[in-house]
Structure 1
């Protein structure tokens, strides 16, 4: 006959019950992130329950099982988001002296290089972005757009140091105006920032830990709404995801497409009414009138990088709405061959004279634009030179076809 387990006395039952109840209270403080602790406590409780008979442990065992189940399903509490105080003074910016010396050195080299300043502009922009991340706005977030007065004061201190260092080196004696060089560098940096800032924001999609550290509240918002942190940042800070160079390229593409559509429409038209309409809109100035060649470069050049210091605040829709006025050169150049082709069979002496004046104006204007292109830098210069080359190649091809 098998030996029976001796019945536990009253004292043993009370001791086991007390031990298991203590474990149940501990389980009430755990959650889904404490899986190992939950398993360990449950094992200890089960070992205690084996010391008493099944009838005696039935009630406490049921309570233990319920406590274990609740602990495994309990959600971890959301981490408390501590709001950082706003930065009001330059002296409050962490590590500013070292950052100041580093960025001032880059600015100094950029001002010395003049023509090569463009290559330093991106490095300076990236360094100043680091400064913005160290400045906190009134919402307790990094001053990404550099609107906080503390950031502006700090940036001014950095530029001032760069200039004073150049003066100390005797560099001021070799240039006519250091303040002009400073302004040129500031404009190039502002232009580059329109690209550097969106790139940084997008990089946070692949760096969730850094994103959560820098923008804890917006990171939580992105996670809760199943959105990219970059989308939330673009929206919250009202940052344009496109750089000025990308916006300019989009405008040029839109203008080129519009010109192609207009050319296609003219090719489908025949008869005198179309020619008369063109005659009524043709320019009437002569080569001796300086207003025509001088006006064209002003109307067709893009704004200088420093013309608008509000970095990345435009919306894509606003930029698209400005396409016809801000970037007319590609469209104008592209439509000239189309006008000639579309009126070859119905051209009149009046139209020929008008076309002649247009070509004469362009002969005076294009060299001016080319000369001004040499004074630009970076994307602006490359884009304008590319458009000029494409326009001239297109006209050359058209003339070659005419003589074939």
Structure 2
């Protein structure tokens, strides 16, 4: 009997030692997350906000700011019982060689398990091609509006928890057709990828319902003749249409455009609607004087208007007292926050298992669902976010917005209207009646 007890005690000791060893090895190898943010160039002034957005999900899980500022990093971060190590990379929007060099350093030298970032359209497409080179590493670009990132030829290890720029204007065509009663429209875009994608989405939705396009104009082209009395054709075309969809990047919108449209159209609230970048830019990067009563769309609800956003803003203000509370609701913060939150939830669902080519993590990420501050989010089969957008009315105070309608569950293809058409470009989206997306029906 003594021998049996001795044998059982020995087995128990061996088991405990094995478990302890497993726990130690699990703890010794942290989850390494590469974080690509702009620390140089035109967006470098927003680096603290990008870092804050990415760090807040870790703080929520018990991490601490090292020196009280986002740029000081975090300590004590854990996910699924494993330590988390953030490895930062310094990028500059649209500087491709810098992005490639930093991403390779994170993956090849630092051996990160996942990369959050970079920031920007072109950069995200470079990241997609890098992801093909490193199929075992998870890539989650932040604030990338490029439709092409996931809609056509996606990489199997790229995930996006944010919307693209076409998704951002979902519901605008329906509002014009069903609420304002438009049957013909003129679009004005800015000749950039932003304008092309917003125009493609508006045309697809509006025309699917039965609307017709009177003209498709762009800044620097025909629209520049609007204020020229010697060139009455453009003004006449605009007057003959039921209304104008202004789908421009706020930074590029000339100061004369909205007042001139007002003189041409008359009652703007019934005859002018606004794209997402114009609405969002007017609240963050640049102030565009938008007329009260006009309706536009946004990927985020009006400031501080939902319980989820209020909770997020309170958490952000408490964690980062050195930043403006309103920063919490900017796209720079929200995109990095949602990318990191989605990644951490995927790691938790995989129980921290990053072995076997990270296959379990890929499977878990594909099934992630959570309530982000601005919208519930899930991923489609191309690992692209399905989220809400918001139809909003411009208030009498310059930066106030009134919620008109929530557009739920916006998926990237617009029920195939976009995925069956060419990649966005000047006038690329055909105007044809068809089966509209669910939110338009």
> Same fold judged by TM-score > 0.5?
no
Q: TM-score under structure 1 normalisation? A: 0.24
Instruction: Between the two structures, name the one with larger relative contact order (CA 8 Å, sep ≥ 6).
Output: 2
TM-score (norm 2): 0.23
Higher strand content, 1 or 2: 2
Q: Which has the larger radius of gyration?
A: 1
More helix by share: 1
